[in-house]
């Protein structure tokens, strides 16, 4: 039984979610160099895909122009799939996204994923700055999705067509942190990725909704789910916990309305956050989906998470200040894939 468990664990593809963090005292240019370096590193280690996330008005996140950065990463690598985790569709005209990803797929054929979310990835003021209107609140996401999908279909009679884009086979994923996208992905027969790394409490309900309501389509015969988790791995539990304080500081800045660049680790978070803030952040960074520790600790918790969720794939975010520590964390994870 133990050998079967290990075989199942090792058969699941592992992927990377990158927010292209901008470190305190650094800049976006260095962030993009680090992301390209990490992408090359994990490609050699055998990771399946490398996704970048759209966020705005966040001084510590460099991946706001997501499509542009996808091109940068795809150009720096050779085989790994590169995509969006995700593009926040309500922020964009579907035609623009079809043309952008049609361009990416044309340059890097067979390597581009289009992951879509319906949240703004920002506050209301930033959403207005992006859209010039707040009429699109995400409620019309199914209509936007249908319009986007139509641009990729061969359709010579349509009045508006996407060039490049039309006729290209670009996998579309739906992303979510609640049940809405889980149900929509199931109805459309699309692959689904859930943000367990910041919405841990809804992980199992969303997976249940997706599997129970899934309808086979030309895209998928069976449901395929990928779960996002945070992993910070180091040689010892103590070092990993120290490295993880950078992510805790990042969430503290967000919850207090003072987002900042990614800060270096600190020795004692209790000198910085209140007990209430600590409880709130630890609820978001649940130990089941924010896995911090030595190789033994990480392996045990990953095995438990995979068994519990029956996920098809994991996409791993590692908000670590020092680039060498970040590279090493993914090396430790890769050793579990062998």
pLDDT tens digits for range 54-71: 999 999 999 999 999 999
C-alpha 111/C-alpha 108 separation (Å) is: 6
pLDDT of residue 69: 98
87 has pLDDT over 90: yes
The answer to whether the Cα torsion of 57, 280, 196, 241 is positive or negative is: positive
Strands 225-233 and 290-293: parallel
Q: Which fold has domain 2-230+294-335?
A: TIM Barrel (3.20.20)
Among the ranges given (112-126, 159-173, 194-208, 241-255), the one the predictor scored with the smallest mean pLDDT = 112-126
Among the ranges given (2-16, 20-34, 199-213), the one the predictor scored with the smallest mean pLDDT = 2-16
User: Average pLDDT in the 181-206 region?
Assistant: 97
Q: 3-state DSSP call for residue 291?
A: strand
The answer to whether the Cα torsion of 37, 39, 40, 45 is positive or negative is: positive
- Site of tokens 């361009």: 103
Q: 3-state DSSP call for residue 175?
A: strand
The pLDDT-based confidence of 3 (bands split at 50, 70, 90) is very low
The pLDDT-based confidence of 1 (bands split at 50, 70, 90) is very low
Among the ranges given (3-7, 24-28, 213-217, 262-266), the one the predictor scored with the smallest mean pLDDT = 3-7
C-alpha 64/C-alpha 37 separation (Å) is: 19
User: Average pLDDT in the 43-58 region?
Assistant: 96
pLDDT of residue 338: 62
pLDDT of residue 125: 84
- With residue 238 as reference, give the H or E element that holds it: helix 237-243
pLDDT of residue 274: 97
Do the Cβ atoms of 324 and 24 come closer than 8 Å? no
User: Average pLDDT in the 294-313 region?
Assistant: 97
pLDDT of residue 208: 97
C-alpha 104/C-alpha 306 separation (Å) is: 32
* Adjacent-strand bridge partners of 87: 116
2 has pLDDT over 60: no
pLDDT of residue 123: 76
Nearest-5° Cα angle at 244, 238 to 250: 155
Average pLDDT of the chain is: 94
The pLDDT-based confidence of 156 (bands split at 50, 70, 90) is confident
pLDDT, tens only, 168-193: 999 999 999 999 999 999 999 999 99
Residue of 304, 306, 307 whose CA lies nearest to 315: 306
pLDDT of residue 8: 45
pLDDT, tens only, 246-298: 999 999 999 999 999 999 999 999 999 999 999 999 999 999 999 999 999 99
C-alpha 337/C-alpha 298 separation (Å) is: 12
pLDDT of residue 176: 95
The domain segmentation of the chain, as residue ranges, is 2-230+294-335
Nearest-5° Cα angle at 283, 114 to 329: 60
Considering 88-92, 110-114, 157-161, the range whose residues carry the highest mean pLDDT is 110-114
337 has pLDDT over 90: no
pLDDT of residue 136: 55
């Amino acid at each position: 039984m133990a050998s079967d468990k290990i075989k199942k664990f090792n058969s699941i593809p592992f992927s990377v979610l990158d927010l292209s963090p901008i470190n305190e005292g650094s800049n976006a240019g260095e962030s993009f160099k680090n992301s390209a370096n990490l992408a090359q590193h994990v490609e050699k280690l055998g990771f399946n895909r490398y996704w970048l996330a759209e966020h705005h008005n966040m001084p510590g996140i460099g991946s706001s122009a997501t499509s542009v950065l996808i091109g940068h990463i795809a150009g720096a690598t050779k085989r790994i799939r590169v995509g969006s985790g995700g593009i926040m569709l309500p922020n964009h005209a579907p035609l623009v996204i079809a043309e952008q990803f049609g361009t990416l797929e044309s340059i890097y054929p067979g390597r581009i994923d289009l992951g879509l979310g319906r949240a703004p990835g920002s506050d209301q003021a930033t959403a207005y700055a992006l859209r010039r209107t707040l009429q699109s609140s995400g409620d019309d996401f199914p209509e936007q999705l249908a319009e986007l999908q139509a641009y990729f279909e061969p359709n010579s009679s349509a009045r508006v067509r996407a060039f490049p884009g039309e006729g290209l086979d670009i996998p579309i994923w739906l992303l979510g942190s609640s049940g809405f996208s889980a149900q929509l992905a199931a109805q459309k027969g699309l692959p689904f990725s859930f943000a367990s790394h910041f919405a841990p409490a809804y992980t199992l309900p969303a997976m249940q909704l997706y599997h129970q309501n899934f309808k086979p389509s030309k895209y998928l015969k069976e449901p395929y789910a990928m779960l996002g988790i945070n992993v910070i791995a180091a040689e010892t539990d103590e070092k990993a916990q120290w490295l993880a304080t950078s992510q805790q500081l990042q969430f503290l800045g967000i919850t207090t309305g003072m987002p900042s660049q990614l800060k270096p680790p600190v020795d004692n978070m209790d000198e910085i956050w209140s007990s209430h803030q600590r409880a709130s952040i630890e609820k978001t960074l649940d130990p089941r989906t924010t896995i911090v520790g030595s190789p033994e600790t990480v392996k045990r918790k990953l095995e438990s998470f995979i068994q519990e969720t029956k996920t098809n794939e994991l996409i791993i975010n590692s908000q670590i200040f020092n680039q060498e520590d970040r590279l090493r964390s993914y090396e430790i994870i890769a050793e579990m894939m062998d």
